[in-house]
Chains A and B, each alone.
Chain A
Amino acid sequence: MQENIISKNKLESFDELFESYQSATVLTREEKAKKIVGQLDAWCGNLEGILQIYKRIPALNQVGIFKGTPWENPSRLVPQLVNGTFKSGHPNSTFELLSELRMLAIARGEIQASDNSKEEAETYLQEVLVLNLEFVFNEPQEETRLLMSEDELNKVHSLFGFISEQIQLSKVKASLVDELVLICEQRPVVTEKQRRIIALVKEKIALDPNDPADEDLLAFQRSIYRPSIGTEGKTYKEYEEYLNGLCEAQLIVEAEQMSEGMLSNGLVSSYQASLLLFLVKNKHFEVVAKCLGLNESGLAWFSEYQEFVCTLIVDVIHPNNAQCIYGLAKSLENGVLSRSAVRAGLHNLLTISLHPKVKERIIKSLGNAKGEVSPKQFLIGALLRILGQPLGVGQGNNPTCQSARGISMWSQHAPAKLIHMVHAAAVHNDLSFRFEGREIKYSESALGLVQKLDHQLDAVSVTLVPMLDKIYNEMMRRASGRGEDPHKWVNPGLYGQWIQIGFASAYDYLSNAIVDFDGFVKVFYAMCHPQYNGGHRLVYPNPVGIFITSAKGEMLGFHAISLLRVEKDPQGTIRAYFLNPNNEGRQNWGQGICPSVYGNGENHGESSLPIHEFAGRIYAFHYNNLDATAKMDEVPQNEVNKVKELAKNSWGKSYTWLEIKKQW
């Protein structure tokens, strides 16, 4: 069968079902509607199918397919409910899809309606679109990924592809700004999503420079499309020509404008690469530092290792590989490039040739952004981004939070080890770990968690993650059957021996229950809460296991994050600051628990929650077993109770609770 064509059979089947529905009385309509919707569900996998459904929407609406359903009255529908309905699967998701298409038909006058209703329908769809950008761009969030099948995702993605082509976005500017700020504030390593939103805005909204309401969106657009005055109306190639005619003072203006834009939202334009390369080649080293927007320590390291940095720039950076300029700047500032092992590792990387399989994966991860840049350049570029923004590492649309968490941790605390791993993996398409005195090799391990890697990742992740994932799984296999959570041994084995020996788990394997949750919380507070741990700070990130819960607080699954620090926020609340490798700021874990990503003292890439809310979702962490037991008695019971209440009324409902005490 040809792809993207709805077969004649299907169209005929629909006619037959429609006929039978039309002639049905109220008694059997519900049952027959189910069948129509079951047939239409089979059409939803592509744009052509959606179009065919759209053509039939007026007739379906006319015969009352929505009658007696929650979608009956279009004016009563609420955009905020759409996302959750899609996640609930067929038949609800199919009805929801039909309902969106009906809205579109109303907005475009295919279904008779008053001007007012048309206007309302248009606004409704715009709001729905902004609230569902994850579907528009096919980048599902954690909860979505856990709940929706691939088919369902594909179906909803097709719908939003169809709708976004048909409507404007002029009424939801403020929401789009919020969305962009939310993403950019986290400074993710992969910047495709914000770029796509900015491109969507460019395509969909005519912005007015004189309207203050449009200022924010224009600023985002400028950072990609026109980062300085000199770039106005030029392609980056024309801009390269243009630079030849500029004096140093003019170059400084260009450099400052560009770095300012880059620092404000973490996005780098192609022009900035052109400029940087021009400056290096023409030895304007002082302007290079301005172009990188370096702070004082960055400036100091740049002067120290100027030659090395300039080699990196020339060898790696290209207008089509520009985003790593931000990573380079940040890795100068955070001092990672000052380590000789790191410089040596990077130097070595410049000389390797990549394994064909690795090349393949990198090229696949690029989508369209290829040309003139080698996979190796992308790989080193991505490495610079990760070294500069360790908290910007994300798992993409993959269940590989463990691997992403590892890459982030190594980037901060074992950067040379990370580079070495990248090196080995890139050359041999293989990776080897030592675990409990024995070797685990990627190429000899069985399956990992991820069967089909989603390639919307950075080049380092596409190189390493498939291997780390398998190795992690093999470690889990070897450590299972010991009557305790295998992570107790796997975490230090995978991440590094600096992970604390003590391991606390709320869940007890032998009794298959939550045992002594009070003690668990006390050990947690004694480990990290500055009021009870002697005012200490965390030294290394702590790999923590959390329960993922839905917006209703229902247990959905497990997730790996790392706890980075516990400190007072600007309002004086003690908060847990953590890395969530799923790179998603707008999460709702139920019970009013919504991790924030900025505005509460977070560094770029951190998520945070008040400590008791955070504690209400954890099930496992590491601690110093020589230390914690003495301190845990000081944790007051009322603090413990706060956490326990949150836990019991959410994920805790899925478990048996035993109140007996255990030895920590």
Chain B
Amino acid sequence: MAKCFALMGWSLPVIESMQKLNKSFVVVSFPDFENYAQENNIPFVPYQFDEWSDSSNSLDLKDKLEPYDVDVAVPLFEETVEWAGALNSLYRDDPKVLNRAFLFRNKAMMKRKALIGGLRVGLFEEVYNKEGVVNFMNRLNQANLQVDGEEDSWVHIKPFASAGTVGHRLLKSKADIEEKCQDDDFPCLAESHLPGKEFSCEAFVHGGKIRFLNITEYVKLGYSNFIPEGNYLHTKREKIMKEMQKLVDLFGIQYGMIHPEWFLTENDELSFGEVACRIPGGHILELCGQAYGFDALAAFVCCHDPELTEEELNELLPPLDARPKTFYGNVMIYPHKNEISRLVIPEELKEEPFFLDHNLVPPLTSQKVNSREGFGNHFGTVNFKGDDPDRMSELLLHYENVDFYH
């Protein structure tokens, strides 16, 4: 069993889970959190993650963690993935662990890797400026045999190394490229639009094997998802499991959790979108824990520990074939207007039997909303719970369009 976990990044729910589990840990995060950590007796090492220099690097951090006896590092956020990779490389004496971390941090690299391994991916390319995106769209149009007057093929651009949907833009035409792309978007990844139903998987991996697989059904990317997957997606579980294990093998994941996004087309084909190895956004682990009745955050952390025993694994994770009867879903709420002055919880929500809770707060007097192209800066979340996945989908779609901020 691990002597001590280094939790890379500040997350109160994770800290709480670790305390409850009674595992030894130390939190590594920005110095801003030091006071709070001290007041609450949280073992803490302040570190400037965004600095890399002679005095700020993984060897130095390893030294700082030595007094705590750390032997496993766990990346909680996208930005700490390389740090954790570097530390684990040292702890396990395996340089590939770090390289693998880089793989997770470069969306072009991970796609290439997937392509090599025989996973289905869209057309993609690194682009360096607007012109590059236009050229990419042109080639895509060509490949799609565009006739004069037909719409352009859709292109997505994404920063190489941002979490989930941050900075993600969908470009539907050349005019869109002109309008939406900004100089500081580049360089980035451009890729063709993948059709199909989008979902994510959270595979808890230990010893290179998937020990528990959660499937999160996306109702709308960046807005809403629910767990466990709906009935249709559930019929594909076996197929998904196969592709997932392929991905794990291909990427050489031994310990931890991976969170890839997939697209399921109508003719039953799975396309790989991208993959991350930190805590997923959209409160997915929270929903997953509620639905399957386990502490998903604790499990996430512990799976990083190579010495975890079979018994412990069985205790931490639900069985592979578990199928909960109650579905948990959420919708992230964004204001619909540019200037908002109050929060209005609609009466229909209060009367909705599936409504569980929300954490929305009113705006500060009159607040201007930052314009948003990517996702990630939602104002709060509304949670639902119920026994009917179709009704759940319907509700999540509906509330995405309800204006909570007036």
A661: Cβ under 8 A from any B Cβ: no
User: Any chain A CB within 8 A of the CB of B343?
Assistant: yes
User: Within 8 Å CB of B383, what residues of A?
Assistant: 35
Q: B113 to nearest A CB, angstroms?
A: 37
Contact A88 B362, CB 8 Å, known A13-B385, A27-B15: yes
- State whether A25 touches B20 (Cβ < 8 A): yes
Are A89 and B357 closer than 8 Å at their CB atoms?
no
Give A76-111 interface residues, CB cut-off 8 Å to B.
Answer: 88-91
Binds A, one of B135-143, B236-244, B347-355: B347-355
> Which chain A residues lie closer than 8 Å to B343 at the CB level?
89-90
Asked if B195 is an interface residue, CB under 8 A from chain A, the answer is no
Is the pair B353, A89 in contact by a Cβ cutoff of 8 Å? Answer: no
CB distance from A60 to the nearest CB of B (A): 15
Chain B residues within 8 Å of A89, by CB: 342-343, 362
- A74 at interface by CB-CB < 8 Å: no
B-contact 0/1 string along A2-31, CB 8 Å cutoff: 000001011001001100000011111001
Interface residues of A in 26-40 (CB under 8 A from B): 26-28, 31, 34-36, 38-39
Whether the pair B358, A1 counts as a contact (CB closer than 8 A) is no
> Contact partner of B345 among A16, A31, A35, A90, CB < 8 A?
A90
- Per the bound structure, the CA–CA distance linking A105 and B318 in Å amounts to 42
B16 within 8 A of A: yes
With both beta carbons as reference points, the residue of chain A lying nearest to B350 in the complex is identified as A42
Q: Nearest-CB distance from B248 to chain A (Å)?
A: 31
Q: Is A149 an interface residue (CB 8 A)?
A: yes
The reply to whether A90 and B362 contact each other, CB–CB distance below 8 Å, is: yes
A24: chain B residues within 8 A (beta carbon): 16
| Beta-carbon nearest neighbor of A24 in chain B | B16
B342 to chain A, nearest CB (A): 6
When the two chains form the complex, which single residue of A36, A45, A88, A91 contacts B350, counting CB atoms closer than 8 Å?
A: A45
Q: Is A304 an interface residue (CB 8 A)?
A: no
Interface residues as binary, B348-380 with A (CB distance below 8 Å gives 1, 0 otherwise): 011101111111111001000000000000000
Q: Are B13 and A151 in contact (CB under 8 A)?
A: no
Is B12 a contact of A31 with CB atoms below 8 Å? Answer: yes
Contact between B362 and A41, CB atoms less than 8 A apart: no
Q: A42-B349, A42-B350 are in contact. Are A35 and B19 (CB under 8 A)?
A: no
A149 to B356, CA, bound (A): 22
* Cα of A25 to Cα of B40 in the assembled complex, Å: 10
**How many contacts between A and B, using CB within 8 angstroms?**
77
Q: Which residues of B contact A7 (CB under 8 A)?
A: 353
Which residues in B have their C-beta under 8 angstroms from that of A42?
345, 349-351, 355
B340 to chain A, nearest CB (A): 12
> In this assembly, does B344 line the interface, its C-beta being within 8 Å of a C-beta of chain A?
yes
With a cutoff of 8 Å between Cβ atoms, the chain A residues found around residue B360 in the complex are 38, 90
The number of chain B residues touching the other chain, given as a range, is: 20 to 34
A35 near B358: Cβ-Cβ < 8 Å: yes
The main secondary structure of chain B at its interface with chain A is mixed
A433 to chain B, nearest CB (A): 32
How many angstroms between the C-alpha atoms of A16 and B15 in the bound complex?
Answer: 21
B137 CB to closest chain A CB, in angstroms? 41
Min Cβ gap A21→B in Å is 11
Q: How far is the CB of A630 from chain B (nearest CB, A)?
A: 41
Query: Are A28 and B13 neighbours in the complex by a CB distance under 8 Å?
Result: yes
- Our pick among A27, A35, A554 for the contact of B12 (Cβ within 8 Å) is A27
- A43, B352: Cα distance in complex, Å: 11
Q: Are A28 and B358 in contact (CB under 8 A)?
A: no
Q: A25-B20, A27-B15 are in contact. Are A34 and B345 (CB under 8 A)?
A: no
Least CB distance from B14 to A in Å reads: 10
Report if A35-B357 is in contact (Cβ < 8 Å); known contacts: A13-B385, A27-B16, A28-B16: yes
Chain A contacts for B345, CB-based, 8 A: 41-42, 90, 151
- Considering the complex, give the chain A residue whose CB is closest to the CB of B356: A13
Candidate in A7, A16, A42 with the most chain B CB atoms within 10 angstroms: A42
Which residues of B are found within 8 Å of A28, using beta-carbon distances? 12-13, 16
A 134-149 to B, binary, CB cutoff 8 A, 1 in contact else 0: 0000000000000101
Tell me if B40 and A27 are in contact (CB < 8 A). Answer: yes
A91 and B361 within 8 A (CB): yes
| Contact present for A149 and B344 (CB under 8 Å) | yes
Q: Complex: how many Å from CA A88 to CA B365?
A: 9
Determine the distance from Cα of A83 to Cα of B319 in the docked complex, in whole angstroms: 53
Write out the residue numbers on chain A whose beta carbons fall within 8 Å of the beta carbon of B357.
13, 17, 35-36, 38-39
Residue of B with least CB distance to A39: B357
Chain B residues within an 8 Å CB radius of A27: 12-13, 15-16, 19, 40
Contact partners of A90 in chain B: CB under 8 A: 343, 345, 360-362
For the complex, give the distance between the alpha carbons of A476 and B15 in Å: 60
Alpha-carbon distance between A39 and B358 when the two chains are bound, in angstroms: 7
Assembled-state Cα–Cα distance A112/B159 (Å) = 58
Q: Which residues of A contact B344 (CB under 8 A)?
A: 149, 151
A38 to chain B: which residues have CB within 8 Å? Answer: 357-360
Interface residues of B in 108-132 (CB under 8 A from A): none
**Please, which residue of chain A has its CB at the minimum distance from the CB of B347?**
A151
Check B342 against A149 for contact (C-beta < 8 Å): yes
Closest to B344 in A: A149
Min distance, Cβ A568 to any Cβ of chain B, angstroms: 39
Give the chain A neighbours of B349 by CB distance below 8 A. Answer: 42
A13 lies within 8 A of B350 (CB): no
Residue of B nearest to A34 (CB): B359
Chain A residues within an 8 Å CB radius of B355 = 10, 13, 39, 42
Q: What per-residue 1/0 map shows which CB atoms of B14-37 lie under 8 Å from chain A?
A: 011001100000000000000000
When the two chains form their complex, are residues A1 and B353 in contact, meaning their CB atoms are under 8 A apart? Answer: yes
Contacts of A147 in B (CB 8 A): 342
Which residues of the other chain, B, contact A88 by a CB distance below 8 angstroms?
A: 362
Please, which residues of chain A bring their CB within 8 A of the CB of B13?
Answer: 27-28, 31
Question: A-facing mask of B174-218, CB < 8 A → 1, else 0?
Answer: 000000000000000000000000000000000000000000000
Nearest-neighbor residue (CB-CB) of A23 within chain B: B20
A17 contacts across to B, CB distance below 8 A:
356-357
12 A-B pairs in the complex with CB atoms less than 8 angstroms apart: A16-B356, A17-B357, A27-B15, A27-B40, A38-B360, A41-B350, A42-B349, A42-B355, A89-B362, A90-B362, A151-B346, A554-B365
Mark B residues whose CB is within 8 Å of A. 12-13, 15-16, 19-20, 40, 342-347, 349-351, 353-362, 365, 383, 385, 406
Task: Beyond the given A10-B353, A35-B356, please list 8 additional residue pairs across the A-B interface where CB-CB is below 8 A.
Answer: A9-B354, A27-B15, A31-B13, A38-B357, A42-B350, A42-B351, A42-B355, A149-B406
Q: Which residues of A contact B (CB under 8 A)?
A: 1, 7, 9-10, 13, 16-17, 24-28, 31, 34-36, 38-39, 41-43, 45, 88-91, 147, 149, 151, 554
Going nearest first, the 8 A-B pairs with the smallest beta carbon separation are A42-B350, A35-B357, A38-B358, A27-B12, A9-B353, A34-B359, A27-B16, A39-B357
